[in-house]
Amino acid sequence: MTTEFGFSRRELFKRAGVAGAAIFAMPDLSRVLSLRRELFAQTRTLTPPEKATLTAMCARIIPTDDNGPGAIEAHAPEYIDHALSGALASSRQAYAEGFAALDVAAQQKFTAPFVKLTPAQQDAILTDVQDTPFFNLVRGHTLQGTFCDPIYGGNTNFVGWDLVGYPGVRLNVTAAEQNMSTPATRNHKSAYDYLMFSKTETMNGH
Amino acid sequence: MATNLKPTGVVIIGMGAAGGVAALPLAQAGIEVVGLEAGTWLQAKDFAPDEIRNNFRAWPQAIQKAQNEIPTHRTSASAPYSPRLAIHPMMNAVGGTSLHYWAQSWRLNPWDFKVVSDTTKRYGSAKIPKGSTVEDWPFGIDELEHYYDIVEQEIGVSGKAGNINGAIDNRGNVFEAARKREYPMPPLRWSEWHDRMASAARGLGWHPFPGPAAVNTRSYGNRSGCAYHGYCNRGGCHVNAKGSTAVTTIPKAQKTGKLSLVTEAHVTSINVNNNGRVTGVTYVKGREEFVQPAAAVLLATYTYENVRTLLLSQSKAFPNGLSNNHGQVGRHYMTHATGGGVTALFPMNLNNWYGLPAQGVAIDDWADDNFDHSSVDFIGGGNLFVYSDRRPISAAGMSTFGRAPAWGSAWKTFIKENADRWHTSYMQKTTLPYEDNYLDLDPTVTDPLGLPVCRITADFHDNERRAAAFCQDKMEQWYRAAGAIDTVRGPLGTMGPSTHAYGGTRMGKNADTNVVNAWGFSHEAPNLAVLGASVMGTSGAHNPTLTAQALAWRTAEYLAKNWKKITE
């Protein structure tokens, strides 16, 4: 049996041991799920400088501010970094070219690479490029990483769902829970907290 | 070398919404049927409520045949190619796209069958747009009522009738043609949001009603009622409340012992003899090639694949593609004008996080010829539909109505307040067929087997643009009446790959302008029939699936009743 990452559950535990995490005598599913999320974060596609630029962009697209956590706390950059080796691999080249173009723009305007700029300077650069395909690509993927099911490594601790007020995945919803006057309470549940759903096939190609 | 298999009665190519229905009357008549399906069986465990998988990926756990054959598109023969879609709108699986469709299960309205004669009678022939190749259907809706009724019972459709044997009931669609009986199940429930929209429509003097859906509202046969949990939009149903053919007609046909279903079968051609009769099909499964001889073949893939399979099946008898000696394969292509919606902003949360897109309020006052067109410069119109369906990523991706930037802290403040305060209508508008809208084989783009993909050459014409703008006016009026504080109009878009694709193998009595006859059988190859919306000559203003399924049952039943005449 292989997991979404293409290695077996036994190997998952083996890797967990190597990574210094606890080895379980009995598989505890919630722990396995969180372990899977950690392993997601270990998959790297981007070079360290590229990852730093992506992180800086995500931090300005959905900032951490008075309204609470943003793309960084959601782990949107890690979601993107991982997915660029899988389902979003066709965008890998666009990212490489986009980061380079962003640094050229930053150098021209403020004589420093994008990551070295102040948040206000970064906003000025992003405003200049906000109508480009590259910016919209990153924006779209940042939204995915912030508001996706946590199984994909983003929306960590449900910070994205809490921001927009999504009450969480339910398998049965009452008439009252659909009414404007009596909305459902937040349950912080992922689809994959319901064990009936297959994780293996779902994550294939990711 | 290809392996020759034991001959069978009927081969059905594609066990989706249409093929999956057609198998049942044939199997029940005792005819041996081989159903060839490119996909596999999917089950409840594959249907996690997961927006990334459903709406941003191409269903990675399904066989990705269609995904490798996404049609190309250009707006005209002289236009450059449009950007190719990243995800095919349809999927391969037993049950096909009926696994993850919205399941709105509409009958067409009477006018859709008589566009030419009714328009000419009421407004004069000059009212029909120039360049349109539209024809009346070879029969009226009365002919199809019996088959609509059968399919509604078999797949389980919920709804509220508006016209039972001429008795009008304004809780249902007062514009529908007479039905012989009530829907098998009551309609999907309405929430306070739906009630608000229905009440606003009544205030405008319109006739709101719950849209019909192939979704159970109580247990039906061995399947559960809807759980209203959401993620139904491109999502499978984990309690089998959605009446996909994978959980209705296909297993029922299998129980007769007459249906043999082959999964992961990729059909590459339909074979014919020198007399122009179909002899069977060739398909690839794994790395092996098989020839399945059959007395009759039903082609039931999808509009694009139906056309492509015919054009790829070239022979001495049909040098330009099967059933194409009159040059009609690929002609009269339409997609529903489903773009051009309206998005509204409300001053309060709508609590639309759960529910399903078929759970909605419909307005047919502005569809088809349900209103007087004397003072407007188009024919047809649209069905207006508001519904309950919201997912977190798409909620955050909402329009900012010009009130906030598209990113940053001000945007974050905006979506925090408004992510549950917006709604986008679904409006299906009449599309007509035109001389210059057609499907053929792409001269350069191929699938992994090296076979050309389908190429779409098509764009909306003035009639579609005018009908769309008219419907947007009406929709804005409706939202405002319900308390919306702002509205924005979406672009109509163009006619690239669509879940509502029609034509290409049109049905009609005249062999010079149609590929199949009034029973769905080829005018040129007498033991070949085509199933699906590719036979429809008008789009209507409602989802095509139930009509495609009613036609499929009718064609299959005709084959069973005329077996000797057709197969000998």
Band (pLDDT 50/70/90 cuts) for residue B568 is confident
Residue A198 is predicted with a pLDDT of: 87
Residue B419 is predicted with a pLDDT of: 98
pLDDT digits (tens, 9 = 90+) for A102-145: 999 999 999 999 999 999 999 999 999 999 999 999 999 999 99
pTM of structure: 0.94
Summary mean pLDDT of chain B: 97
Residue B141 is predicted with a pLDDT of: 97
Chain B residues with beta carbon closer than 8 angstroms to that of A155: 392
Residue A205 has pLDDT above 70, yes or no: no
- Residue B490 sits at φ, ψ, to 5 deg, of -85, 155
At position B194, the amino acid (one-letter code) is: H
Higher pLDDT, B371 or A28: B371
Residue B278 has pLDDT above 90, yes or no: yes
Residue A204 has pLDDT above 70, yes or no: no
SS3 for chain A, per residue? CECCCCCEHHHHHHHHHHCCCCCCCCCCHHHHHHHHHHHHHHCCCCCHHHHHHHHHHHHHHCCCECCECCHHHHCHHHHHHHHCCCCCHHHHHHHHHHHHHHHHHHHHHHCCCHHHCCHHHHHHHHHHHCCCHHHHHHHHHHHHHHHCCHHHCCCHHHHHHHHHCCCCCCCCCCHHHHCCCCCCCCCCCCHHHCCCCCCHHHHCCC
Residue B134 has pLDDT above 90, yes or no: yes
Residue B420 has pLDDT above 70, yes or no: yes
Phi-psi region of B423 (alpha: psi -120 to 50; beta: other; left: phi over 0): beta
Residue B77 is predicted with a pLDDT of: 98
Chain B residues with beta carbon closer than 8 angstroms to that of A206: 57, 60
User: Hey, are the CB atoms on A197 and B413 less than 8 Å from each other?
Assistant: no
Residue B360 and residue B385 in contact, taking contact as beta carbons nearer than 8 Å: yes
User: Hey, are the CB atoms on A165 and B393 less than 8 Å from each other?
Assistant: no
pLDDT digits (tens, 9 = 90+) for B52-69: 999 999 888 899 999 999
Chain A residue with the nearest C-alpha to that of B196: A180
Chain B residues with beta carbon closer than 8 angstroms to that of A147: 51, 392-393, 395-396
Shortest distance, CA A203 to any CA of chain B (angstroms): 8
Band (pLDDT 50/70/90 cuts) for residue A39 is low
3 state SS of B439:
strand
Residue A6 has pLDDT above 60, yes or no: no
User: Hey, are the CB atoms on A143 and B238 less than 8 Å from each other?
Assistant: no
User: Hey, are the CB atoms on B57 and A70 less than 8 Å from each other?
Assistant: no
Residue B1 is predicted with a pLDDT of: 79
C-alpha torsion B284→B286→B288→B291, nearest 10: -30
ipTM of this model? 0.95
| Percentage of residues in chain B having pLDDT higher than 70 | 100
User: Hey, are the CB atoms on B395 and A147 less than 8 Å from each other?
Assistant: yes
* Average pLDDT over every residue of B167-192: 98
Band (pLDDT 50/70/90 cuts) for residue A15 is very low
User: Hey, are the CB atoms on B193 and A180 less than 8 Å from each other?
Assistant: yes
Chain B residue with the nearest C-alpha to that of A64: B409
Chain A residues with beta carbon closer than 8 angstroms to that of B393: 143-144, 147-148
Interface mutation vs chain B, best among A61, A65, A67, A147, most B CBs within 10 Å: A147
Chain A residue with the nearest C-alpha to that of B350: A180
**Inter-chain CB pairs, A–B, below 8 Å:** 158
User: Hey, are the CB atoms on A177 and B230 less than 8 Å from each other?
Assistant: no
* Average pLDDT over every residue of B203-214: 98
Residue A3 has pLDDT above 80, yes or no: no
Q: Closest partner residue to A148 among B52, B227, B416, by Cβ?
A: B52
Band (pLDDT 50/70/90 cuts) for residue B113 is very high
